[in-house]
């Protein structure tokens, strides 16, 4: 089967299921998953497509379940709950330890092509420390510019990154993004809806299908084919639209 058709129909089905019937959100999520940086000019970064998916259900650990599906269908993914403790205690950026003469890795030090799922629904009440605010700034810089500053104590060194970021939140995220997508479930989200949706999607996954998905994403994200494949994918994706666009301005879906 032609790879683009596979991505359009088979992968779209899974995300349509776990996004509780929101067809447009499934389209945006797939576009996000196939995005890769293909050109850098000064502060301009072309190819990145960070998405804030908001209005997600808070019951049944929805954000974590969504991240698990993403991890199954791509070759590299990382889930990071944005709790106050994580901001205040974790090192988001690598830091040089001069006593041990080694560079201590940070939570955002990820290899190129790793999909980062940021769970803002995990955020609770609390106050960010100066270290937490620094981590928040580093995270915003990664999302906006795809650059990460390494901390050498006496100076900072900036390195380029290629980490697609998906922010899952209840309301509009405090973090920057290229596109904000409001989840609109096709049915009321009752106590068992989330569980049943993910159970149906999980039952349809098997080892053979997962290996094919990994191959297709590997093929689609090769550097030498990126521009051509991305254009053809978007062309076939929206050639026969399933639902009309429900938002008046680009990048935001909201009635307000």
DSSP letters spanning 86-111: HHHHS-SS-EEETTTTEEEP-TT---
pLDDT score, position 56 = 94
* CA distance linking residue 103 with residue 19, whole number of Å: 40
Task: Point out which residues pair with 233 in neighbouring strands.
Answer: none
pLDDT score, position 143 = 94
The CA-based dihedral angle spanning residues 173, 176, 179, 181, taken in that order and rounded to the nearest 10 degrees = 0
| Structure tokens belonging to residue 165 | 């970021």
What crossing angle do the helices spanning 226-237 and 23-33 adopt, rounded to 10°?
Answer: 170
pLDDT score, position 212 = 60
* CA distance linking residue 93 with residue 3, whole number of Å: 36
pLDDT score, position 220 = 55
Length of the chain: 256
pLDDT score, position 213 = 60
**Which residue, among 180, 33, 46, has the nearest Cα to 117 in the 3D structure?**
33
- Evaluate whether 170 touches 149 at the Cβ level (below 8 Å): no
| Structure tokens belonging to residue 33 | 């998953």
Taking CA atoms, 223 is separated from 103, 146, 200, 217, 229, in Å, by 29, 17, 34, 12, 10
Note the helical H segments in 108-225.
130-145, 193-204, 207-220
- Evaluate whether 178 touches 52 at the Cβ level (below 8 Å): no
* CA distance linking residue 156 with residue 94, whole number of Å: 10
Mark the ranges of the chain whose per-residue pLDDT is less than 70: 1-8, 206-256
Residue extents of the structural domains in the chain: 3-237
Q: Answer yes or no: pTM beyond 0.85.
A: no
pLDDT score, position 219 = 46
* Collapsed DSSP state (helix, strand, coil) of residue 222: coil
End-to-end CA distance of the chain: 42
pLDDT score, position 157 = 86
pLDDT score, position 214 = 54
CA atoms 81, 82, 84, 89: torsion sign = positive
pLDDT score, position 243 = 47
DSSP state at residue 190: -
Taking CA atoms, 119 is separated from 43, 78, 111, 168, 223, in Å, by 27, 11, 20, 5, 29
* CA distance linking residue 80 with residue 202, whole number of Å: 22
pLDDT score, position 71 = 87
Q: What class is the 3-237 domain?
A: alpha beta
pLDDT score, position 199 = 84
pLDDT score, position 116 = 95
DSSP state at residue 10: I
């Amino acid at each position: 089967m032609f790879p683009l058709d596979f991505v359009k129909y088979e992968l779209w089905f899974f995300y349509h299921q776990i996004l509780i019937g929101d067809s447009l959100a499934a389209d945006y999520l797939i576009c996000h998953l196939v995005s890769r940086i293909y050109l850098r000019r000064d502060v301009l970064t072309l190819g990145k497509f960070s998405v804030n998916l908001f209005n997600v259900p808070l019951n049944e650990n929805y954000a974590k379940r969504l991240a698990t599906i993403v991890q199954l269908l791509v070759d590299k993914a990382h889930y990071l709950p944005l709790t106050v403790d994580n901001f205040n205690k974790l090192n988001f950026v690598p830091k040089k330890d001069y006593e041990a003469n080694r560079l201590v890795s940070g939570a955002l030090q990820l290899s190129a092509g790793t999909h980062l799922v940021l769970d803002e629904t995990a955020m609770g009440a609390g106050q960010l420390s100066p270290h937490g605010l620094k981590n928040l700034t580093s995270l915003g810089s990664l999302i906006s510019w795809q650059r990460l500053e390494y901390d050498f104590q006496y100076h900072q060194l900036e390195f380029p990154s290629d980490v697609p970021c998906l922010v899952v939140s209840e309301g509009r995220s405090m973090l920057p993004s290229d596109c904000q997508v409001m989840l609109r479930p096709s049915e009321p989200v009752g106590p068992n809806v989330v569980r049943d949706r993910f159970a149906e999607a999980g039952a349809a996954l098997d080892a053979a299908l997962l290996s094919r998905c990994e191959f297709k994403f590997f093929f689609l994200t090769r550097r030498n084919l990126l521009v051509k494949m991305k254009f053809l994918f978007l062309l076939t994706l929206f050639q026969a639209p399933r639902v009309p666009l429900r938002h008046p301005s680009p990048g935001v879906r909201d009635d307000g």
